[in-house]
Amino acid sequence: MTYALLNAAFLSVVALLAIAAIVTRRSPRWRAVGLAAALLLIATAVFDNVIIAAGLVDYDEALISGVRIGIAPIEDFAYAVAALVLLPAVWELLGARPARQDGAS
């Protein structure tokens, strides 16, 4: 099984939960998710490249697409993307408290 196939299976579940959060009109604050995405993906790129360069992690060339960011395969970023979508979606589905109308928190 390739990493892309494994990621597709995992990300499809994440996508279903995100769609469920949006359909129930409990959409996460996507601007905050976008900011978190930028920071997490940059950190993932830096640290993945460091641990691969240090020889702590290696990938079978036959199981990756060949697309890389630095020396890190693109498939390595799927888990960060999944966390960025899954966490706010589950938070909303589990019933984050709605904001009060009177401005108090």
Residue 66 has pLDDT above 60, yes or no: yes
Provide the percentage of residues in the chain whose pLDDT is more than 90: 35
Residue 11 has pLDDT above 70, yes or no: yes
Q: Say what the pTM is.
A: 0.72
Q: What is the pLDDT of residues 31-49, one digit of tens each?
A: 887 888 899 999 999 999 9
Whole-angstrom distance, CA of residue 93 vs CA of residue 27 = 9
E strand intervals along 1-105: 68-69, 72-73
Q: Residues with Cβ < 8 Å from 75, sequence gap 6 or more?
A: 3, 4, 7, 64, 65
- Going from N- to C-terminal start, the domains of the chain cover 3-93
User: Are 76 and 49 a contacting pair, CB within 8 Å?
Assistant: no
User: Are 27 and 98 a contacting pair, CB within 8 Å?
Assistant: no
Find how far residue 18's CA is from the centre of its chain. Answer: 11
